Every structure is written in C-alpha cells, then in structure tokens.
Structure 1
Amino acid sequence: MKYLEVTFATHPCNETVNDVVSALAGEIGFESFVECEGGIQAYIQQELFDEEALKEMVTGFPLPGTTVEYTVKEAEDKNWNEEWEKNFFQPIVIGDRCCIHSTFHKDTPKTEYEILINPQMAFGTGHHETTSSIISELLDADLKGKSVLDMGCGTSILAILASMRGAGPVTAIDIDDWCVNNSRDNITLNQIDNITVE
C-alpha cells in the first residue's frame, strides 16, 4: 500500500494551529500525523488522496491570521504502525496512580488505574497537558455515583477513568466520527459498560 507524505508549513506554527490542521486533514482521509520543524507531516493512502479537497482545506482554513502551505511527496515504504508504536506513543504515568498505554506496550508500571488505548487517528494519548491535568483532578475527586460528561472526548480516556473511579452514568461526546469510533473501541478494550458515546 503506497502512502503520500504531505508536509504542512504553518504560520504561526503552534499547537493549536497544528491540531486544527490534523483534524481537518483527518476529515479528508489522512491517517497519521507527526510534528516536524515548522509544522506537521501527514500521511494518506495514495489512492485516497484528493488534491482538490486539500486545496479547499488550505484556502478555507478557519483560524484568522493563519497561513498553511503544503508540499507532497511519496512516503518512504515502511511499516507505519510499527513506526508509530516505537516512536510516537509512549506510556504515560500520572501521579503514580494511573498508567495509560496501548496493547503493544510491555513492562508498564503497575498502578491503581490502568487505561488501555489504541489511539488510531483520534486525539488523546494523555500526553497533552490539559488531559493530564484533568486526569490528576479526576484521581482526587469523589466520583462515586456522579454523572460525568466528557465533552470533546477524543479517545475517551477521561470518560474511562471517571467510570473506573465509580462515576455513572458517563457520556462521551465528540464531533469527529474517528473519535466516536475509537472511543467505542477503547471503552470495549477496558471492559467498561456504563459509557454512552455520542
């Protein structure tokens, strides 16, 4: 399967702009993203590539005062899943109480709460500062019997932890179909049965 590598140069280059680029590119078929100097690199199967859709995405970019330019080349033939596993998603431990990792991680530390995720294209490996801050709050909060809403759930890490901590019912919501589907997969992976994903 041949892939194309599209390098987006973003001005200004910051986390917000790159997140929006990734989200919009995901909507037109891009599968994976890697931060690079000056922007972000995105990968798409050659047969799914639609340059007209890409041009529309760039010209209609929704953040004012932002410009996005791109270059396209054929990606080096690699096992991209293996590359992702080795280089871009490392386990995260928060407060020595919660470990977030994927099924391919071995020898992870034993903690009170263990959350398994396979992030696919969805945002939310727990490395983002806002996610890890909320996880710390959830670890200290009394959630037993309380209803919780995970708005903009991404991979549903927060909803999963809330359920593990005794919350219920729990609702996870996102506007991105990839996030909704990935959330459902992760909830099943963690054997949780009281989270509704919308």
Structure 2
Amino acid sequence: MWISVTLQADAARAEALSDALIEAGALSVGIEDADAGTAAEKPQFGEPGHHPTRLWDHSRVVALFDGETDLTLALAQAASTAGFAAVPPFTVEEVAEQNWVQLTQSQFEPIRISERMWIVPSWHDAPDPSAINIALDPGMAFGTGSHPTTRLCLQWLCEAVRAGDQVLDYGCGSGILGIAAAKLGAAEVLGIDIDDKALQAAQDNAQRNRVSLRLQHSRLPLEQRFDIVVANILTNPLCVLAPLLAARLKPGGWLALSGVLDTQAEQVIAAYAPFIALEVGDTQEGWVRLEGCLKERGRT
C-alpha cells in the first residue's frame, strides 16, 4: 500500500516543497493547479506579451509515500527544509496495490468524435476500421480527445476542413488537432506551441499516424495566412493572441477557439471583435467553442 498526500502551497514555495518531500522520502511528487477547471485557471507557460509564469498562484503538491513511512516526521522535515513555519494544510489518501498499467489503460477507451472519426489508444482495436482513426495514447502534452474542449475542436474540424486547406493549430499540444486536419484532407498543417516537449510529442504522434505536420516554437515569427486557424488554449492567452491569430487568416478563412468556459465567452468575443466576429458554435460540459469567418465561406 502507498499513501498519497496533497498539500497546499503558493507558487513561491511549491517547487521548494516538492524538492523537500523527495528528500524526506517521497517516491514521487507532482505540482498541480489548485484552480484547475475554474475561471481562475491559469496556463503554466507564458504567452506572447506576458512574462512566463513559473507555477500557479495556488498550487497543490501531491506526494506519494510508501505505506510504512512515518508521515508526521516526513512532512515536518519537508516543511522545515522548504522554509514553512509549520506543515501546510494537507489531506491523506490510501492508495491500494494495483496493476497500474492495466488501470491506466482501462481509463482510456476509444473515443467517438463523430460518425467519421475516432481516437484510438494503441492497446485497442479500432471500433470502426472504415472511419478516420487517430492513434493516440495519453502523454505529457495536452490533447487526447477526452477533454470537452478537444472534442469541440475535433467535431468542428470534421465539418470545416476541405481538401487542400492550409491549417494552423496554435497551441498544438499532442498534435491531435493538426493530425485530424491532415487526415481530413488538409494540404498543409502547421502546429505551434510554447513547450518543446509538446512539439516533440506532436512530432511523434504525427509519425505514428503517418501524416506530415510542420512544427515550430511560438517564439519564431509567423507570417503565413491560413484557411483555418484553430486554438484550444485558455481564455487569458486567447485574448492576448487575438491580433496574432486573426491576422493569420486568409480572406474567407475560419477561426475556431476553445479552452473557454461558458462564463468567459463574452470576454473572448469582445477581445476578437476588432478583428473578427465570433459566436458560440457549441457547448459541452460548461466549455464553449467560439467560431467565426472573415467573410461567408461555405462548408461541405
């Protein structure tokens, strides 16, 4: 048996506490956004126009200990090493012995995106071999098709992409949206991300799916215009990126944005209003997809 301990920490001391927990005997430690899934959720990495954010303002530090560990001693030692006057508020949960590989795989079944598209982990057979099947396993980069924001974008791409389109996936993460666009007939797909690990994951996933993606870091200049621009990020960076993303559209090009809570939709629509009119295209589980066109463009 193992013991999972979740401690509260501010951004300034979360990393120090994480290191101290390892020194005190933790088998593994992770830092999470305590505001994830709320309007206060923040990206871990900076975006153009903002200084990079090292960690979240309100963090959760999750440590895994052997069940025989003296938690009182270990937590006191870690808190002292990290500069805390006392052990921060924490919760404890027992973690039973399990087949972790089997458990992880069981949590990721094939995901039906539309009548013509599925996301299929490598340990599963495709439910519909005649459909567009994207081979994708959970990894370090965001985007497996399980989150509503990813599904919203994939469903939109199934309707929007036409043969020969040039597509920009800004904040590409795992590359899932770009891979889908390529499989749907796009002639050229460019994926951009601020994280080198995400770019490598996108490259690996593209090779696995036998499609070609161009990939580049967000620090590099971007002058090309596209038929379709899609970005599944978060509200604040999407607002900052409004001039850049709108400027990358060809006349008649389509823009789709997700990573936006329904309570934040008007904020994003207002940020893009000087450049392109957006409207809510669909909603799932409290998240919305915003979409708009520079001028009328038929869809197939």
Which TM class, normalised by the smaller chain length?
0.5 to 0.7
Decide whether the 8 Å contact of 2:126 with 2:133 is kept in 1: no
Query: What's the CA shift for 1:19?
Result: 7.2
* Distance (Å, rounded) in 1 between the aligned partners of 2:127 and 2:97: 30
Decide whether the 8 Å contact of 2:161 with 2:181 is kept in 1: no
Q: 1:172 to 1:99 in 2, by over 3 A?
A: same
Q: 1:162 to 1:73 in 2, by over 3 A?
A: same
Give SS of 2:134's match. strand
Q: Please, which of 3, 7, 14 is the counterpart of residue 37 of structure 2?
A: 14
The range that moved more, 165-174 or 77-86, is 77-86
Decide whether the 8 Å contact of 1:154 with 1:174 is kept in 2: yes
Report the counterpart of residue 83 of structure 1 in structure 2.
Answer: 103
Q: TM-score, structure 1 length as denominator?
A: 0.64
* Distance (Å, rounded) in 2 between the aligned partners of 1:16 and 1:83: 31
Q: Please, which of 143, 147, 154 is the counterpart of residue 128 of structure 1?
A: 147
Decide whether the 8 Å contact of 2:113 with 2:151 is kept in 1: yes
* Distance (Å, rounded) in 2 between the aligned partners of 1:19 and 1:128: 17
* Distance (Å, rounded) in 1 between the aligned partners of 2:28 and 2:195: 23
Aligned pairs for 1:67-106 within 5 A? 80-87=100-107, 89-106=108-125
Give SS of 1:148's match. strand
Report the counterpart of residue 176 of structure 2 in structure 1.
Answer: 157
Query: What's the CA shift for 1:116?
Result: 0.4
1:175 counterpart = 2:199 = no
Decide whether the 8 Å contact of 1:149 with 1:170 is kept in 2: yes
Q: Which has the larger radius of gyration?
A: 2
Report the counterpart of residue 196 of structure 1 in structure 2.
Answer: 214
Query: What's the CA shift for 1:159?
Result: 0.6
Q: 1:42 to 1:181 in 2, by over 3 A?
A: farther
Query: What's the CA shift for 1:110?
Result: 3.5
CA-to-aligned-CA distance 1:12-44 (integer Å, 9 cap, x gap): 4525666746x79xx99xxxxxxxxxx978679
Q: 1:93 to 1:79 in 2, by over 3 A?
A: same
Aligned length: 163
Give SS of 2:172's match. coil
What is the RMSD computed on CA atoms of the aligned residues? 4.0
Q: TM-score, structure 2 length as denominator?
A: 0.44
Name stretches of at least 5 consecutive residues in structure 1 with no aligned partner.
29-38, 45-50, 56-67
* Distance (Å, rounded) in 1 between the aligned partners of 2:42 and 2:208: 26
* Distance (Å, rounded) in 2 between the aligned partners of 1:92 and 1:43: 31
Higher strand share: 2
CA-to-aligned-CA distance 1:46-90 (integer Å, 9 cap, x gap): xxxxx8xxx7xxxxxxxxxxxx97779998776544332122x22
Give SS of 2:125's match. coil
Decide whether the 8 Å contact of 2:181 with 2:189 is kept in 1: yes
Report the counterpart of residue 65 of structure 1 in structure 2.
Answer: none
Name stretches of at least 5 consecutive residues in structure 2 with no aligned partner.
1-25, 47-53, 65-77, 83-87, 217-300
RCO greater where, 1 or 2, for CA within 8 Å and sep 6 or more?
1
Query: What's the CA shift for 1:187?
Result: 0.3
CA-to-aligned-CA distance 1:81-118 (integer Å, 9 cap, x gap): 4332122x222101221000111123523352100012
* Distance (Å, rounded) in 1 between the aligned partners of 2:113 and 2:164: 24
Decide whether the 8 Å contact of 1:125 with 1:155 is kept in 2: yes
CA-to-aligned-CA distance 1:135-169 (integer Å, 9 cap, x gap): 11211124211211111111111111111122121
* Distance (Å, rounded) in 1 between the aligned partners of 2:63 and 2:98: 12
